Amino acid sequence: MGRDLHCLTLHAAADGLARGDFTSVELTTALLDRISSIDANIGAFLTVTADAALSQAAAADARRATGEVNRLDGLPIAIKDVLSTAGVETTCGSRMLQGFIPPYDATVIRHLRTAGAVMLGKTNMDEFAMGSSNEYSAYKVVRNPWDLGRVPGGSSGGSAAAVAADECLAALGSDTGGSVRQPAALCGCVGLKPTYGRVSRYGLIAFASSLDQVGTLTKDVSDAAMLLGAIAGHDSRDSTSVDTPVFNYLADSDDGLHDLKIGVAPQYFGKGLAPSVGSKVREAIGTLVDAGATEREISLTHTELALPAYYVIAPSEASANLARYNGVKYGLSDVNASDVDEMMAGVRAEGFGSEVKRRIMLGAFALSSGYYDAFYLRAQKVRTLIKDDFDAAFEQVDVIATPTAPTPAFELGSKLGDPVAMYQSDIMTLPASLAGLPCISVPCGFVEGLPVGFQLIAPAFEEERLLRIARLFERFRGDMEAPAREVDSL
């Protein structure tokens, strides 16, 4: 029996459990051991729920002993701390919610519990999911397992690093402007952001409601499909979730790539893209073409407007979403304040970090009377133009390929003094977020010992197509020659 259980993919572990090679308790124990031995150096977890995980694992083993079980039953998964977990502290990476224990489960958590998944704990993140390096966590930084001096990306940096460092088999994250895909690219794992509306947002602590979507961080594309199958679907508690059939995302097909048209837009390969990353992405597209696909140049004309539009819309929504944190009901409070106004103001001054405050200020300003038309309304119009660009492109092509992030993982602290440079990390992921489209980041090579990912974007609710192409890419790409991970020298 292999003792490196923590290195398994979800599907390999599911097969192992099914064959009886090992139990969920053994698997869970292996992962908890891995967390205790390395996470002090990674910082991926904010909360580890070891006791609960072991009893969930034991219950899973008992279920398996008596009958048919779900594919996910007994598989240990990590959860980004942005998702509400009943009875388990949920901080959203903020001092504001330190000690906050929600009374309810997010819909996706309910789905995972029903499927029998084992929850290992809650992963670190940029405060309220605002950031691209995880350095805005109020608790601790997350280190990139490939190079401990570099960031894992953000805001789902904890989830991406936990998967990359084999501290969990897979993890849930959330993606507003690239928060699943960009850290997946920087950590060398697969990051899937489904179509807006595909997965319920109920219990996903809101950053920007019209953009937020729960996503997955996994070791390969099949795992992404497996996890998406468990969490997708209409939810009567989320009026923006869409009542559309959930496919069997795992259904493999050997249709190949012969009829496939891949769109490549020059707007994604210009200024700001590290040439070494660009050439890796071109190689990936070449792999698809070699396998029979056709490359088509398309134009996504309004791409460069995505960043300014996003930084009006997302902060505007955030300014309202984060208004509820005032010390009156939960989280940080101050019983010594002289009156309620002083208490509410004091709690917000103390509880929020600087990046969160910056975005609240931006958003409140953009929505102010007299500025609304010039900012919020205009940004929404730009959003429509970006959506129209994608619609037009998808008349010609089946899927669009782009880099996921302009550079590989950057050094810790290198962008902290320059918010705009930090915002630039998301230029490749923002447009598809604004259009609500499903996209996936898949590893496609290494540059200077650091992983590089490329992004595939599909039309709305075409996750099946997206996953099929991504999986075929994975197959044609084959195993990559990976440099040493710094985490392995710990």
Partner 1 sequence: MSAAVSSDYRAVIGLETHVQLQTESKMFCGCGADYAGDEPNTHVCEVCLGMPGVLPVINRKAVDLTILTGLALNCRIPENAKFDRKNYAYPDLMKWYQISQYDLPLCEAGHLDVVTSGRKDRIGVTRVHLEEDTAKLSHVTGSDGSPASLIDVNRSGSCLMEIVSEPDITSSAQAMAYGAKIRDLLRWIGVSTANMQDGELRIDANVSVWRQGEATGDVKVEVKNMNSFRALGRALDFEIDRQSRAREAGQAIVQETRGWDEDSGLTVPQRTKEYAHDYRYFPEPDLPPLLIPEARVSGLRLRLPRMPDQVAADLVAEGCPAGDVEELVQDRVLTEFALSVVGEGVMAKDAVTWIVHELRRVLNDRDVPSGQIPLQATEVASLLVMRGDGVVSSTMASEVLDEMIATGASAAELVASRGPQISGEEELLAVARDVIGENPQAVEDYRAGKARAVQFLMGQVMRVTKGKANPGVVSELIRRQLDGVE
> 143 with 152: CB under 8 angstroms?
yes
**Given 317, 355, 389, 462, the residue binding partner 1 (CB under 8 A):** 317
Q: Is 52 in the site for partner 1 (CB under 8 A)?
A: no
Measured CA to CA in angstroms, residue 392 lies from 387, 398, 464, 467 at distances of 9, 11, 21, 22
**Can residue 104 be called a binding residue for partner 1 (CB under 8 A)?**
yes
Q: Of residues 132, 159, 179, 441, which has the active-site annotation? A: 179
Residue 4's alpha-carbon distances to 49, 83, 217, 228, in angstroms, are: 21, 29, 20, 25
CA distance 139 to 122: 13
Nearer to partner 1 among residue 187 and residue 356 (C-beta): 356
**Tokens matching residue 59:** 């219950």
Which span sits near partner 1 by CB under 8 A: 13-21, 90-98, 147-155, 383-391? Answer: 90-98
Answer yes or no whether residue 206 interacts with partner 1 by CB under 8 A.
yes
Look up 80 and say whether it is catalytic.
yes
Question: Please, are residues 162 and 171 in contact by the beta-carbon 8 Å criterion?
Answer: yes
- Give me the phi and psi of 160, to 5 degrees please: -65, -45
Choose between 7 and 367: whose C-beta lies nearer to partner 1: 367
Question: Which span (143-151, 208-216, 261-269, 437-445) binds partner 1, by CB under 8 A?
Answer: 208-216
- The only residue of 131, 203, 315, 431 in contact with partner 1, by rule CB under 8 A: 203
Among 144, 179, 287, 319, binds partner 1 (CB under 8 A): 319
Helices 10-19, 24-42: inter-axial angle, 10-degree rounding: 150
CA distance 182 to 173: 11
- Which listed range, 48-56, 203-211, 225-233, 404-412, lies at the site for partner 1 (CB under 8 A)? 203-211
Confirm whether 155 is a catalytic residue: yes
Residues touching partner 1, count (CB under 8 A): 43
What count of Cα atoms within 13 Å lies in the side-chain half-sphere of residue 284?
31
From 65, 323, 392, 480, residue interacting with partner 1 (rule: CB under 8 A): 323
Name the 3-class secondary structure at 283.
helix
Q: Which is nearer to partner 1, 186 or 318 (CB)?
A: 318
Q: Which stretch binds partner 1 (CB under 8 A): 34-42, 103-111, 274-282, 291-299?
A: 103-111
| 118-123 vs 45-48, strand pairing mode | antiparallel
Quick note: the x/- pattern for partner 1 over 366-385, rule CB under 8 A, is -xxx--x---x---------
Judged by beta carbon, residue 39 or residue 317, the one nearer partner 1 is: 317
Based on CB atoms, which residue is closest to partner 1, 104 or 396? 104
> What is the x/- site pattern for partner 1, positions 334-353, by CB under 8 A?
------x---x---------
Of 23, 29, 56, 100, which one interacts with partner 1 (CB under 8 A)?
Answer: 100
Q: In this chain, which of 112, 205, 225, 262 binds partner 1, going by CB under 8 A? A: 205
CB of 204 to partner 1, least distance (A): 6
Return the residue of 324, 374, 448, 475 that touches partner 1, per CB under 8 A: 324
Residue 414's contacts (CB-CB under 8 Å, 6 or more residues apart) are none
The DSSP output letter for 246 is P
Residues 6+ apart with CB under 8 A from 244: 198, 234, 461
- Do residues 466 and 439 make contact, with C-beta atoms less than 8 angstroms apart? yes
Contact call for residue 70 and partner 1 (CB under 8 A): no
Q: Which of 92, 169 has the CB closer to partner 1?
A: 92
* 92-100, 250-258, 289-297, 302-310 -> range binding partner 1 (CB under 8 A): 92-100
Q: Does 301 bind partner 1 (CB under 8 A)?
A: no
Give the footprint of partner 1 on residues 214-273 (CB under 8 A): 236-240
- Hey, what are 389's tokens? 């660009």
Shortest approach of partner 1 to residue 310 CB, angstroms? Answer: 14
Q: How many CB atoms lie within 10 A of CB 114?
A: 11
Stretch of 64-72, 201-209, 351-359, 453-461 contacting partner 1, by CB under 8 A: 201-209
**Residues whose CB falls within 8 Å of the CB of residue 422, separated by 6 or more in sequence, listed in order:** 131, 132, 133, 415, 416
Tokens 């974007």 belong to 457
Output the smallest distance, CB 323 to partner 1, in A.
3
**What is the full DSSP assignment across 249-268?**
TT-----TTTT-EEEE-GGG
User: 3-state SS of 170-223?
Assistant: EEEEEECCCCCHHHHHHHCCEEEECCCCCECCCCECCCCCCCCEEEEEECCHHH
Q: Is 329 a catalytic site residue?
A: no
Which H or E run contains 462?
none
Given the residues 80, 122, 280, 415, select the one marked as catalytic.
80
- Interface with partner 1 (CB under 8 A): 83-84, 90, 92, 97, 100, 102-104, 106, 201-206, 208-210, 236-240, 316-317, 319-320, 323-326, 328-330, 340, 344, 364, 367-369, 372, 376
The catalytic residue positions are 80, 155, 179
